[in-house]
Amino acid sequence: MSTATLSSLIGVLILGQVAGFALVARHRYRGKFRALQTQAFGDGPRAPSYRTPSDAEEENQDNVDPGELDAFPSAWTGYKEFVVQRRTPEDRNGDVCSFHLAPADGARLPAFRPGQYLTFKLEIPNGDAGSTKSVVRCYSLSDRPRSDLYRVSIKRVPAPPGRAELPGGAASSHFHDLVREGTRLAVRAPSGHFHLIEDGDLPIVLIAGGIGITPMLSILNALAHWADPREVWLFYGVRNGTEHIMKEHLETLRDTHPGFHLRVVYADPSDADIPGIDYHHRGYIDIRLLQEALNLARYEYYVCGPPPMMEALVPALETAGVPAWNIHYESFGPASLNRGHTSTQAQGKSPITVRFGKSGTSVSWDPSASESLLELIEDQGIRVDSGCRAGSCGCCETRIEAGEVLYRQQPDADVKPGHCLLCIATPSTDLTLDI
């Protein structure tokens, strides 16, 4: 064997060893990350160079080496009693308030995936002396997973524009006006299909409008706590500085982690808002703004905000070449993401009849009058359980006795076979419901 051949062979062997070591290191990192999710989710190692502002105040409560943790408990079924430990205003006007919740029995909390939500069953005063009504609502978790506390951040929903005589949101007003430290609340376990892909490879873009920042805070704080190496961008749009949620917290994350890029967009800045300091862009988050900052196709996108923002951005990202599987979205508000689908009846088929099996009554489906079966049923004066009105909480799940339905969007809640979620379903044939 010649000297040149021998040198080449040695070089190939060395390169093979280097590649092998790199693959082993990557495998160990990915395995460690998955172990944090399944065994010690939310209690991972702290990275001094990238700590969330809340880490310092929680050191004594949650400073446990992942290797010493027992497995997290499984999620509970039904509703569990929680106690409000504290409440914290999160914006300049106090329209957004965070509620920190601990289980009344002191048990360890199950893991959740950053971006998921909690479902609350509230007993809200009903006007008459001493009477209440049950209301179910879903609110996104707004902090990283922990074993002792959950946090939700809730915006007070005002009266509709130009209708000041009408009441604001019943559930959000209940939280802001009546829920205090020590209040006990009935809570279902975390759920939802909108969440961080923990072991993804692509850099991350978070796009939030208004109160849609809450699941993004959970994702951001988790990535920070786990010292995740991925590059992260946050595009956050609000009206102006009075509605800017957790401003100092986001700026601290930006200043302590060079891989985190913050872009704040004000639609209508006030005279007190300083460009380049309080916000970076004026207007709205749109595809042009994203194209100026990013090579669009090489990111994993998480989008959450009001329906108009979602209906503009999500299709625009797809048109710009972002694969649909790299776009994860959740819409805040009464409407789901409308992709322009038309109903079966609107396409010229025969009128559809919806029958209520328990009463035997029937009604014609009119897509111009109702956006969902839930609206149709409520218009008939029939009371059914409902919560999120967006296919997330599962409260309106109803058995189908005959017929078929179409969904405006993929249900976020798990639906039993032969059932449907009334809030996002429309009939595609004559339909009989177990109502």
pLDDT in tens, 35-89: 333 333 233 322 323 334 444 444 444 543 333 334 568 899 889 999 999 999 9
Give the residue with greater pLDDT, 349 vs 237.
Answer: 237
- What's the confidence (pLDDT) of residue 216? 98
Segment holding 26, helix H or strand E: helix 3-38
Spatial CB neighbours of 380, under 8 Å, sequence gap ≥ 6: 356, 361, 363
Residue 335 confidence (pLDDT) above 80: no
Residue 211 confidence (pLDDT) above 50: yes
Give the residue with greater pLDDT, 301 vs 165.
Answer: 301
Phi, psi (deg, nearest 5) at residue 376: -60, -45
What's the DSSP call for residue 424? G
Give me the percent of the chain exceeding a pLDDT of 70. Answer: 77
Residue 277 confidence (pLDDT) above 60: yes
Residue 30 confidence (pLDDT) above 70: no
Q: Residue 390: which pLDDT band, with cuts at 50, 70 and 90?
A: confident
For residues 156 and 172, is the Cβ–Cβ distance under 8 A? yes
Maximum average pLDDT range among 31-35, 157-161, 193-197, 234-238: 234-238
Residue 247 confidence (pLDDT) above 70: yes
The CATH code for residues 204-331 is 3.40.50.80
The least confident of 96-110, 239-253, 345-359 is 345-359
Give the residue with greater pLDDT, 410 vs 25.
Answer: 410
- What's the confidence (pLDDT) of residue 412? 72
Chain mean pLDDT for the chain: 82
Q: Residue 34: which pLDDT band, with cuts at 50, 70 and 90?
A: very low
Please tell me the distance from the alpha carbon of residue 391 to that of residue 411, in angstroms, as a whole number: 5
Please tell me the distance from the alpha carbon of residue 294 to that of residue 311, in angstroms, as a whole number: 20
- What's the confidence (pLDDT) of residue 334? 45
Segment holding 251, helix H or strand E: helix 247-256
Among candidate residues 322, 262, 256, the one with its CA nearest the CA of residue 291 = 322
Phi, psi (deg, nearest 5) at residue 232: -130, 130
Report domain extents, the chain. Answer: 73-159+167-191, 204-331, 345-433
Q: Is 254 left (phi over 0), alpha (psi -120 to 50) or beta?
A: alpha
The CATH code for residues 73-159+167-191 is 2.40.30.10
Give me the percent of the chain exceeding a pLDDT of 90. Answer: 57
pLDDT digits (tens, 9 = 90+) for 251-267: 999 999 989 999 999 99
In the CATH scheme, what architecture does the domain 345-433 have? Roll (3.10)
